[in-house]
Amino acid sequence: MGYAERVRCFNSIEVIPDRPGRNTVSGTIIVTMGAITEKFHLVFSYNRDVTIDSRTAGLILTMPVINYAYFAGEIRLNFRLRKRDVDLVREFVRTNNTEVFVNKICRRRYEFIKRDFIPGEGEITRENAEGSTMIIADDVVDDTPSETVEYSTCRIAVLSSGGKESLLSYGILKELGKEVFPVFFNESGGHWRTAKTSYDMISRENPETLKIWSNVDRFYTFMRDRITALDQAMVRKRADTYPIRLFIFPVYVMAALPYLVSNGISGLVMGNEFDDPGEMKPFHGIIHHYGVYDQSRDFSERISGYFRESGHKIDLYSLLYPISGYVVENILGHRYPDLFSTQRSCHSCHFTEEEIAPCGKCTKCAGILLFCAASSLDYGLIGYRDVTCNDIIRMADSGRMRLDPDELEHMISRVRGIDSKLHEHVEGVHMLPGEPVPFSLVPEELRPGLMGIVGKYSSGIYSLASENWVRRN
């Protein structure tokens, strides 16, 4: 028995969409585990009418399922699809399986996996990483899409969460004179507390703000509790990461598609910031995305290509992919203080008498506090009370920060008042390998205005040379 078969706990996961309504996507997920069959009714509800066809509805329901594909023998798509849809799902499953195997099972930060299910050295192979999940789709057509929607390059949507990246993207696009459509995703659990402060402010000023409600977080819990390889006692302990789930943003992107089509929106902006490619090495020869495939260039280009093949003139991209979290925070706090005041970059926010406040203890909070201190920003404005500079340095020294090594060392130097040039590229604009010009992954019409804003807060343009970031003339 191979490793993938040894950890398998679902014989089959079946996706059966209901007939879509004017503002609702729903359907049944049927999970078979040996002789046991269980069902979950999954719902996505929009706060305005949107155009939804049954194929898109089925794909929206399929995206959350992909998180658990590694543990499934087959995924059955019980709705009509095009061949390109099936190809996309197959590719996503293979990619997600690799990310789960490498980053959740092998390179794990927490012992969520039972010891009996951890692969031996000889089992860490590309074949085991990709898994053996079958995609079964019996109703496949190969028709040519005929899209009659007029897409406007002035209309751009932003996946919005209350975090610094989405807030800065919103502020920049508004300053550049674009018609911006914020898209908030309201899971039925506590994550909405993170987004609520910014949603309340932005929805008051922008009538085009979309909110999608879903019970998908309950589906995630439903599936997690049925994975036999997980140590459920460890799973229920507080941690700053999910035991398995890595395929998160595709759920948001696909759920936003009906809204984009209904409004002729040509761009969907994600808040991806810079991930240093020099730090991303293969694992035992297995190429992977360090658990952030859905925030990578590969994902953006694959989704954009899929949209175009499907007849939608929509591109997915990030405005911030070449700049670090520090630069993002610095621009947001100093250029857009009203938006900065609504930032909540913590997944464990709680209500106080005056506001929704971050926990101040998790790795995300530690990183935000470090960025704010390095930027001379008042982090009390975003809910961090009674925190001193020494507290921030202690958190940084504890090794709990989830930042690229160069970024962490440079930030600590700034907070301690050390004028270090060792990693000055952290404050710059990075050109990724193969990029001909800065911000080449952003639509050309946005580049001059974007560079005009970011350039005021950065130290220059940098490219990789012999694995080192070198400033360009």
> Which residue in the block uniquely carries the two structure tokens 């992919």?
321
Q: Are 293 and 299 in contact (CB under 8 A)?
A: yes
Answer yes or no: is 212 within a domain: no
pLDDT band at 467 (very low <50, low <70, confident <90, very high): confident
Answer yes or no: is 411 within a domain: yes
pLDDT band at 188 (very low <50, low <70, confident <90, very high): low
CA distance 288 to 298: 11
Determine the pLDDT at residue 2.
82
The model's pTM is 0.94
Domain count for the chain, please give it.
Answer: 1
Determine the pLDDT at residue 249.
95
Residue 108 φ then ψ, to 5° = -75, 145
Determine the pLDDT at residue 399.
66
Answer yes or no: is 395 within a domain: yes
The mean pLDDT value of the chain amounts to 92
Answer yes or no: is 410 within a domain: yes
Picking from 82, 100, 102, 91, the residue whose alpha carbon sits closest to that of residue 135 is 91
Determine the pLDDT at residue 110.
86
Q: Is the pLDDT of residue 79 over 90?
A: yes
Answer yes or no: is 319 within a domain: no
In this prediction, residues 345-370 reach a mean pLDDT of 88
- 470: β partners: 463
Per the structure, the complete domain to which residue 416 belongs is given by 344-420
* pLDDT-above-90 percentage for the chain: 75
For 414, half-sphere exposure in the C-beta direction (CA atoms, 13 angstrom radius) is: 23
Q: Is the pLDDT of residue 143 over 90?
A: no
Which two three-digit tokens encode residue 377? 């920003």
Answer yes or no: is 190 within a domain: no
Answer yes or no: is 389 within a domain: yes
Q: Is the pLDDT of residue 40 over 70?
A: yes
Answer yes or no: is 408 within a domain: yes
Identify which of 3-12, 135-144, 180-189 has the greatest average pLDDT: 3-12
Determine the pLDDT at residue 58.
98
CA distance 196 to 13: 33
Dihedral of alpha carbons 357, 359, 360, 363, sign: negative
> Which residue in the block uniquely carries the two structure tokens 């594909």?
69
